[in-house]
């Protein structure tokens, strides 16, 4: 009798363990793509102020390279798309709070981000450069000359951390327009903007009356950019990557990039003398 009782307890224990494991597996199940498919909508975090990746055109429409790529992804997945606008920190928080499905705002796909997010396939390759005053290069001829200079940008970006490592004084903005950034360099409020080369190229061309320029031959950190996903949302991440691969293969990424950058940023740039800087 005692032996049978022990066997019964073991069986019950096995059943309880199986139930517990099933509950844990159910709790950990990733429904990120299923939820999007059922709702029929992707919700995407962006800034709306980062030309030419995410900005408003003359018809007050939200457009840009990242925005248009995200729209095409939604179209191919046969779902609607809605954009929520935040600064960089707000976009990150929206992912962590699961208020948005992914973030699309020229995000660098670096190792720091990989620790906290799932990273899409690259949609853009570029490198960092410096905007300076046209008349005197803001007294900067190399990265070492950033020491003591005022570098403008949003907080917590790799560009600002790099500037700080070289001794720059950081002047932070909250989702400011490109015109404000460039004007502040021109009038001496700041000395430089450290950011993505292609973004700076298009911005300076769009604002030719502001007396600033990209500093020649001071480039660093060949980089690749794309979308950020919440760490546990693997099924949605995989689905979007499948579509991005299709868009690369059929030339759609190239077509959209040439519209905004006058270059195919979906391929690595053929530029020499790009310095490698380890950003802490």
Q: What is the pLDDT of residue 27?
A: 42
- Helix/strand/coil for 234: helix
* Stretch 135-159: mean pLDDT: 95
What token pair was written down for 184? 């502040």
Q: Write down the pTM of the prediction.
A: 0.75
Residue 150 has, within 13 A of its CA and on its CB side, a CA count of 14
Kindly state which CATH superfamily the domain 32-125+224-268 is placed in.
Answer: Periplasmic binding protein-like II (3.40.190.10)
Q: What is the pLDDT of residue 7?
A: 43
Q: What is the pLDDT of residue 195?
A: 94
CATH number of this structure's domain 126-221, picked from the four choices 3.60.15.10, 3.30.9.60, 4.10.780.10, 3.40.190.10? 3.40.190.10
Do the Cβ atoms of 77 and 243 come closer than 8 Å? Answer: yes
Report the residue count for the chain. 280
| DSSP line for 19-36 | HHHHHHHHHH---HHHHH
Domain with CATH 3.40.190.10 in the chain: 32-125+224-268, 126-221
Looking at the predicted structure, is the pLDDT value of residue 47 above 90?
A: yes
* Stretch 111-117: mean pLDDT: 91
| Nearest-5° Cα angle at 29, 230 to 96 | 20
Closest-CA residue to 144 (of 158, 130, 127): 130
* Stretch 200-224: mean pLDDT: 95
Q: What is the pLDDT of residue 28?
A: 65
Cα torsion angle, 97, 236, 268, 259, sign: negative
Looking at the predicted structure, is the pLDDT value of residue 250 above 60?
A: yes
- 49-72 pLDDT tens trace: 999 999 999 999 999 999 999 999
Instruction: Please give the mean pLDDT across all residues of the chain.
Output: 90
């Amino acid at each position: 009798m005692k032996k049978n009782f022990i066997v019964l307890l073991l069986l019950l224990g096995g059943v309880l363990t199986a139930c517990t494991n099933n509950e844990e597996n159910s709790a950990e199940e990733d429904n990120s793509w299923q939820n999007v498919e059922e709702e029929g909508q992707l919700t995407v975090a962006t800034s709306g102020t980062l030309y030419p990746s995410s900005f408003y055109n003359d018809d007050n429409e939200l457009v840009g390279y990242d925005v248009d790529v995200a729209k095409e992804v939604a179209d191919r997945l046969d779902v609607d798309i809605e954009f929520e606008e935040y600064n960089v920190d707000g976009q990150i928080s929206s992912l962590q709070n699961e208020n948005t499905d992914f973030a699309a705002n020229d995000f660098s796909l670096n190792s720091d981000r990989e620790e906290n997010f799932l990273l899409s396939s690259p949609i853009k390759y570029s490198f960092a450069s410096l905007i300076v005053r046209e008349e005197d290069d803001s007294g900067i001829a190399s990265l070492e000359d950033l020491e003591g200079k005022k570098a403008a940008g949003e907080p917590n970006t790799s560009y600002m951390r790099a500037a700080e490592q070289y001794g720059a004084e950081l002047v932070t903005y909250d989702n400011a327009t490109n015109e404000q950034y460039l004007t502040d360099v021109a009038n001496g409020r700041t000395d430089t903007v450290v950011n993505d080369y292609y973004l700076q190229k298009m911005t300076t061309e769009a604002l030719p009356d502001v007396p600033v320029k990209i500093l020649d031959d001071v480039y660093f950190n060949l980089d690749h950019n794309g979308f950020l996903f919440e760490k546990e949302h693997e099924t949605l991440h995989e689905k979007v990557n499948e579509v991005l691969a299709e868009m690369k293969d059929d030339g759609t990424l190239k077509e959209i990039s040439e519209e905004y950058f006058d270059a195919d940023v979906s391929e690595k740039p053929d530029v020499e003398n790009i310095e490698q800087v380890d950003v802490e």
